Amino acid sequence: MTDSYTVTNPFDNSVLSSHLYDSWDVVEAKLQLLKSGQKTQKKFTAFERSDILRNLAGLLSDNAEELAKLITLETGKTISDSRVEMSRAVNAAKSSSEEARQISGECLDSDAFPPARGKIGISLWKPLGTILCITPFNFPINIAMHKIGPAFAAGNAILFKASPVNTQSSMLFTQLCYQAGIPEDVLQFAMPADKDLNKLNSHDLVDGINFTGGTNAANAISAVSGYKKLLLELGGNDPLIVLPDGDIEAAVNASINQRLATAGQRCTAAKRIFLHEDIYDAFRDLLLEKTQKLVVGDPMKEDTFIGPVISKKAAESIQYFIEDAIFHGATVTAGNKFDGAIVYPTILENLSVDCLLMKEEVFGPVLPLTKFNDIEEIIPIINNSPYGLQAGVFTQNLAIARTLFEELDVGTLACNDGPGFRTEHFPFGGVKQSGAGREGIKYAIREMSYLKTLVI
């Protein structure tokens, strides 16, 4: 008997839908269909793939409001935030369309080393085959587009596995992909039960896995995937650093927008805020003033800035991290208030480097403030984390920015912006347990391809 699951609204706990997990026989049949779809992909030209992806961008734009409402119902993300997600998904589709026409290799002359044999090597990027694209709950359409767009542009077939809470929005997205012109034997949506995930990740008909999510799930994928090519975008405990010559108001706004939006449930959220002692009080006071004006509650209301986290269980986990910080000496300046799955914005001061908030990733609207005198003090504190995704610094001092760029264990340092900065055509990814490989449309295409060389 196939297991079933229910999707509920995290704000009011109302039941949105009920579904059956796909049986293993159904999943295998979809993989077999996608194997045949690899031949379908070979018949497409680059410009045809590009045109399909451009069509998809238009359809996403036309259906943006319906999808945004589904995202808000399923995840508790505010409607304004869901609309921003849809605009980014449209951009990702457009970027995928453009990059589909730009995939190129290189030509090499064999006479670079003796003996020169009068040969030329022509290297081209070729699709891996079938890519398993696994997406998380927090950006269900945008992250799906960042995976499926480049996977399709590269010429792969795609098995799309979303978070169960995003079933409705993901199924609508899949239908729009078909409407845009992606054939059904090239893209399939599947929702296997948890007990079948290891079999899926290790399946011979899966040639690559593109996963965004938590470290534990990534470890499970890595343990069974063998020699498959993996693109893993995982968590972060991203620092935001503010120096005396930085724009304090801009830094406060970045802290709010990049930590409290999506109720703090972003891998690139500003999760640790380091403030130079000269501007500490001014920053804290302005942050407190602005934070207290934010509307918390119903995510469907236009003026709500912070809705619920994904579940009451998630809220309880956030509360545990706050209590641990308090146990280690932190003081609560604002917040530490809970109502079901709603976590009110919480500002903490006087944090110990030993508390979990300073080392682990916390998916919630928590702003831990740390005072420092010299950047050399905070570099080892920042690096004392299993993660290394992105960082942000507000300063006009290029020498300091260069020092942080060289010394911090991160994939990206954003100057005069927060660690949440991302745009579709930049490389995106981290070091250590923040993942392997790089997203960003052009770079994801290469991660889901391999180089093949013709010698003539």
Active-site positions read: 233
Residue 262, by phi and psi: left (phi above 0), alpha (psi -120 to 50) or beta?
Answer: left
Tokens encoding 393: 């610094």
* Helical (H) or strand (E) element with 240: strand 239-242
Tokens encoding 104: 């190129």
Distance CA 175, CA 172 (A): 5
**DSSP code of residue 192:** B
* Helical (H) or strand (E) element with 42: helix 24-43
* Helical (H) or strand (E) element with 188: strand 187-189
State the sign of the Cα–Cα–Cα–Cα dihedral 282, 286, 292, 298: negative
Q: What is the DSSP string of 280-305?
A: HHHHHHHHHHHHTT--BS-TTSTT--
Q: Which of 266, 238, 14, 7 is nearest to 136 (CA)?
A: 266
Task: Give the number of other Cβ atoms within 10 Å of residue 197's Cβ.
Answer: 17
User: Could you give the 3-state DSSP secondary structure of residue 7?
Assistant: strand
Which phi and psi (to 5°) does residue 287 adopt?
Answer: -60, -45
* Helical (H) or strand (E) element with 347: strand 346-349
β strands within 4-156, DSSP E: 4-8, 15-20, 106-109, 120-127, 130-134
Q: Letter for the amino acid at 48?
A: E
Distance CA 195, CA 192 (A): 8
Q: What is the DSSP string of 373-400?
A: SSHHHHHHHHHSSSEE-EEEEE-S-HHH
* Helical (H) or strand (E) element with 360: none
Who contacts 158 (Cβ-Cβ below 8 Å, separation ≥6)?
Answer: 34, 130, 131, 133, 147, 148, 151, 152, 186, 187, 188
